[in-house]
Chain A
């Protein structure tokens, strides 16, 4: 397990990012061995996939060298060592790894494990806790993601002028001459990726999966398309205003489910009242909420990637003109 420790001590930025990708994969495998399949799912698609891509785009924009640190690292090392020592001292009181009688296992956990099947009727406990017991939290998370999307858009959106567009397309065309094999393979793969995203979305009640993961996978399919066929082509297929609208609509779906359940006499996000049969109501509520989450996550990821790649292309075009 100590593998990941050695990884991250290299200077070149591209190499660092690649190793960060491997690190994401390693930690996702940890999660599988620790029984957290849903988390592994998310970490695989987010930590190893999307965040690596975003970092690479940034490195491509900002350059790959790192200057030698000018100040001495001894102080930092000292601070780190002291903190680490204190934390290790703190672990001596911790319950042993995997012990059944640890305090964590004794409070809310058993209730979720024992009763969620009767109360929610969804085999995947992670989904039922995520969407129903702690639905309010998840609402907050979705809002955070939405806000991040807006933030990235505010920071990186470029005012697009037609002459820039032609320059960008010239660059794209020259790049597209090659990659014939890749384009054919990816063209066949993309429909399956999107289909698989829907499977993950709606199968989340029964197996690992759910809105977050499905959204990321869906976005990954679109990103793959955008990377190989050029951003302008992808923009023609996926209109950016539509995506922006969708990201808001996802949050809106989530919130309105809560409001509707309030109007039906329950409390906010209490899906039991959505239908005559509480369990059917829970199913309906979870389905709708996961849909909202999926839509928001997918569109925010697409927005983020489009903004990053658009910035990169914009700079390329500017550079091309100045040459």
Chain B
């Protein structure tokens, strides 16, 4: 039973780490904001869940497990809604996505770039 739990937790932790890493590579390598957001948002949620479940399987104390569950719930609530708000705000403020076949690869408008917007 013990080894089984250990195995399961290791599996969860490894999977979580892998997802984390892929998200990290994604946020660095993808061409425009929306794909980056996709990489970060999707992998983040599942990776957090996996790692927290992996930790839950490691420990017998009930209080700790309850706290972990609270954190998990909060991540599940917060992470998608933050991504939603972010993507929405970006779209509304005129950050254009790079569409397939788009020659102009820049993907950013001048309006909301790093350049201070003209008032």
Contact = CB atoms under 8 A, between A and B. Distances in A.
Q: When A and B assemble into the complex, do they touch directly, with CB atoms less than 8 Å apart?
A: yes
B30 interface: no
Given A185-B77, A189-B77, A64 B84 contact: no
Contacts of A188: 77
Interface in A62-104: 63-65
Interface string B46-90: 000000000000000000000000000010011001001100100
Q: In terms of DSSP, what is the predominant structure of the interface of chain B?
A: helix
Contact of B116 (A65, A179, A185): A65
Interface string B30-47: 000000000000000000
A126 B84 CA distance: 40
A179 B85 contact: yes
B114 interface: yes
Interface in A159-192: 178-179, 181-182, 185, 188-189
B119 interface: yes
- Name the residue among B84, B116, B119 with the largest chain A CB count within 10 angstroms: B116
B36 to A, nearest CB: 15
Given A15-B114, A189-B77, A182 B119 contact: no
Interface in B76-119: 77-78, 81, 84-85, 88, 92, 114, 116-117, 119
Interface of B: 74, 77-78, 81, 84-85, 88, 92, 114, 116-117, 119
A188 B76 CA distance: 13
B81 A185 contact: yes
Given A12-B116, A181-B81, 18 more contacts: A12-B114, A15-B114, A63-B119, A64-B116, A64-B117, A65-B116, A178-B88, A178-B92, A179-B85, A181-B84, A182-B81, A185-B77, A185-B78, A185-B81, A188-B77, A189-B74, A189-B77, A189-B78
Contacts, number: 24
Nearest to A182: B85
A58 B77 CA distance: 29
B89 to A, nearest CB: 9
Contacts of B116: 12, 63-65
- Name the residue among A178, A179, A185 with the largest chain B CB count within 10 angstroms: A185
B40 to A, nearest CB: 14
A178 B92 CA distance: 11
23 contacts: A12-B114, A12-B116, A15-B114, A63-B116, A63-B119, A64-B116, A64-B117, A65-B116, A178-B88, A178-B92, A179-B85, A181-B81, A181-B85, A182-B81, A182-B84, A182-B85, A185-B77, A185-B78, A185-B81, A188-B77, A189-B74, A189-B77, A189-B78
